[in-house]
């Protein structure tokens, strides 16, 4: 309970200098005079109460100048696990930016033959380089051997038709034959078709419900000697490609002809070119134009034999072959031709201007300076 300070007001005769008549002066009695508390006045004194005032408050300290809040730190993204056996869980609600990795027991994948290395050390096969895995090679150049396991029990034409339905890449099988219990054919410079055929492994279904097992291996060019019957077939194909009215023989890309699937007959091999030249000399010496483009011919030794016989030859097409230099054209000296096509051969890349190329070729072939 708060303490109160009490004072009494007593009437007296008003002084003449008071501004208000009838008012009484104010007498403040000290608190340490208890003998005055019993004084009775008429009229009764007026009692007033004054509460104790609290001590004055100090002024608040000055506020510091306004400064913006520091920027938030960038979010923390943990790096990926360094080991494949650490499984990263999705972010939790409490920490959405910090996924917690869960270590799992690591069991390496094993396969047959992974320990068959020198010294017993375990080495993983490097399958990233397609050259180390011939079954998945994607090189477009070179030869590919397609093997159909247990394909001897099926009809060859039916197998080929089913393959062409599943494979969108065009291809021409070379030397399509039976080899043991398998069907085998070759592809030249067509790695895209070889990969597409390998991708349909166990997807091509035959009439009896079985599926074809297909393998693809890199292979050297096949080497098969020709029998007498096959040579007669080559002669028959040449007669179909000879135009009697124009006296023109078309041997362009000869070994990839669809009618030569059972016979591999590339003209860049000297024995095969010898057979072609013999057929020309014996049957069509009056030929005026021969097209030998796209056959990868690298030598003209056998073509030299037709110079004294085929005196009417005016045009010779040797485009897109493998003639390396101008000196190999010396075999054509004495040939009275009017048109010689050499575009697409490596020898053309050795000249920087047309004038030098024309001068060198005419000098070697026609001995004209």
Location of each CATH 3.80.10.10 domain in the chain: 228-366
- Residue 87 has which token pair? 């499984």
Which residues, in sequence order, are bridge partners of residue 211? 205
What 3-state DSSP class applies to 236? Answer: helix
Q: Which CATH number fits domain 228-366: 3.80.10.10, 3.40.630.10, 3.40.1350.10, 3.90.1150.10?
A: 3.80.10.10
Location of each CATH 3.30.70.330 domain in the chain: 132-219
Tens of each residue's pLDDT in the chain, 369 residues: 444 444 444 444 454 444 444 444 444 445 454 444 444 445 555 555 555 666 665 666 676 666 667 777 777 776 665 555 444 445 545 544 444 444 555 555 555 555 555 554 544 444 444 444 444 444 566 889 999 999 999 998 999 999 999 999 999 888 888 999 999 999 988 889 999 999 999 999 998 889 999 999 998 888 888 888 889 999 999 999 999 999 999 999 998 887 776 788 889 888 999 999 999 999 999 999 999 999 999 999 999 999 999 999 999 999 999 999 999 999 998 888 899 999 999 999 988 888 899 899 988 988 765
How confident is the model at residue 148, as a pLDDT?
95
Residue of 305, 340, 306 whose CA lies nearest to 323 = 340
CB count in 10 Å sphere of residue 55: 6
| pTM listed for this prediction | 0.54
pLDDT digit string (tens) for 315-368? Answer: 999 999 999 999 999 999 888 889 999 999 999 998 888 889 989 998 898 876
Per cent of the chain over pLDDT 90 is 40
What 3-state DSSP class applies to 154? Answer: coil
- Topology of domain 132-219 in CATH is Alpha-Beta Plaits (3.30.70)
- Residue 29 has which token pair? 């009695």
pLDDT digit string (tens) for 58-75? Answer: 666 676 666 667 777 777
């Amino acid at each position: 309970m708060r303490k109160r300070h009490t004072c009494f007001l007593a009437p007296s005769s008003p002084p003449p200098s008071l501004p208000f008549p009838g008012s009484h002066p104010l007498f403040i009695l000290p608190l340490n005079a208890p003998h005055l508390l019993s004084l009775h006045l008429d009229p009764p004194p007026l009692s007033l109460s004054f509460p104790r005032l609290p001590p004055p408050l100090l002024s608040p300290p000055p506020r510091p100048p306004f400064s913006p809040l520091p920027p938030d730190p960038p979010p923390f993204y943990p790096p990926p696990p360094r080991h494949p056996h650490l499984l990263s869980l999705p972010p939790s609600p409490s920490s959405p930016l910090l996924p917690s990795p869960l270590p799992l027991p690591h069991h390496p994948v094993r396969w047959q033959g992974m320990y068959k290395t020198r010294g017993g050390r375990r080495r993983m096969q490097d399958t990233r380089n397609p050259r180390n895995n011939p079954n998945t090679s994607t090189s477009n150049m070179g030869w590919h051997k397609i093997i159909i396991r247990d394909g001897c029990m099926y009809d060859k034409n039916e197998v080929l038709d089913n393959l062409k339905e599943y494979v969108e890449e065009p291809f021409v099988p070379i030397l399509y034959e039976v080899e043991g219990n398998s069907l085998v054919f070759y592809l030249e410079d067509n790695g895209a078709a070889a990969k597409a055929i390998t991708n349909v492994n166990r997807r091509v279904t035959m009439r009896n419900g079985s599926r074809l097992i297909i393998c693809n291996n890199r292979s050297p060019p096949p080497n098969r000697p020709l029998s007498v019957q096959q040579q007669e077939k080559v002669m028959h194909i040449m007669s179909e490609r000879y135009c009697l009215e124009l006296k023109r023989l078309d041997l362009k890309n000869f070994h990839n002809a669809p009618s030569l699937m059972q016979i591999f007959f590339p003209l860049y091999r000297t024995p095969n070119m010898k057979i072609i030249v013999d057929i020309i000399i014996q049957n069509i010496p009056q030929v005026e134009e021969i097209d030998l483009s796209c056959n990868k011919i690298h030598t003209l030794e056998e073509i030299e034999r037709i110079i004294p016989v085929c005196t009417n030859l005016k045009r010779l097409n040797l485009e897109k072959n493998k003639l390396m230099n101008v000196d190999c054209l010396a075999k054509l000296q004495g040939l009275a031709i009017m048109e010689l096509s050499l575009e697409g051969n490596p020898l053309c890349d050795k000249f920087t201007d047309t004038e030098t190329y024309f001068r060198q070729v005419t000098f070697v072939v026609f001995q004209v300076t």
